[in-house]
Amino acid sequence: MSRLDDTRAFVPLNIAVLTVSDTRTPEDDKSGDTLTERLTKAGHRLAGRAIATDDRDAIQAKVKQWIADKGVDVIITTGGTGFTGRDITPESLEPLFEKRMDGFSEVFHRISYDKIGTSTIQSRATGGVAGGTFIFVLPGSPGACKDAWDGILQAQLDYRHRPCNFVEIMPRLDEHLKRGAS
């Protein structure tokens, strides 16, 4: 079972948070606030925070900017994962993924199912890796952000988490890019 290895030092990550919404403002972005509070309380650094409208170009532009920024290790988006016409975050970001993280969606839905039952199927939460950066695409509710952080991300973004975690593989995320360059 998972545990924290106290012989390892905590490694703070630089995490950017993007809220995708046509209606949210910095003053009422509760999901962005939830993620920011949780990541900083865990000891990580907020590398950036923004709001993008439900527009493919706007979403991709901000995420591509953060992927290119070597000071950003992880990107978490919130919003736009439902089925309405304006919900396009997965369609906007999955084409950027070099590797998709199917397990993230599966575990997120398991946690969500335990709380909201079959309503979890109305979310298209997803995750992947692009340019050596982890990207997690979450629903736009504070509850979903809490579930994803508390149930998955807090442990996987902690170097002390055993038997494995995302932090220990970060130096090797872009191996395929280096091989292609030689």
Q: What is the pLDDT of residues 111-164, one digit of tens each?
A: 999 999 999 999 999 999 999 999 999 999 999 999 999 999 999 999 999 999
- CA distance linking residue 67 with residue 11, whole number of Å: 20
Predicted local confidence at residue 98, as pLDDT: 95
Q: What is the pLDDT of residues 30-86, one digit of tens each?
A: 999 999 999 999 999 999 999 999 999 999 999 999 999 999 999 999 999 999 999
- CATH of residue 85's domain is 3.40.980.10
Taking 60 as the threshold, does the pLDDT of residue 179 lie above it? Answer: no
Predicted local confidence at residue 182, as pLDDT: 47
Model-level pTM? 0.95
Query: Which among 91, 109, 28, 24 is positioned nearest to 55, based on CA atoms?
Result: 91
Predicted local confidence at residue 175, as pLDDT: 76
Domain count, the chain: 1
What are the DSSP E strand ranges found in the chain?
3-4, 14-20, 45-52, 74-78, 99-100, 126-130, 133-138, 161-162
Q: Which range marks the domain in which residue 137 is found?
A: 3-181
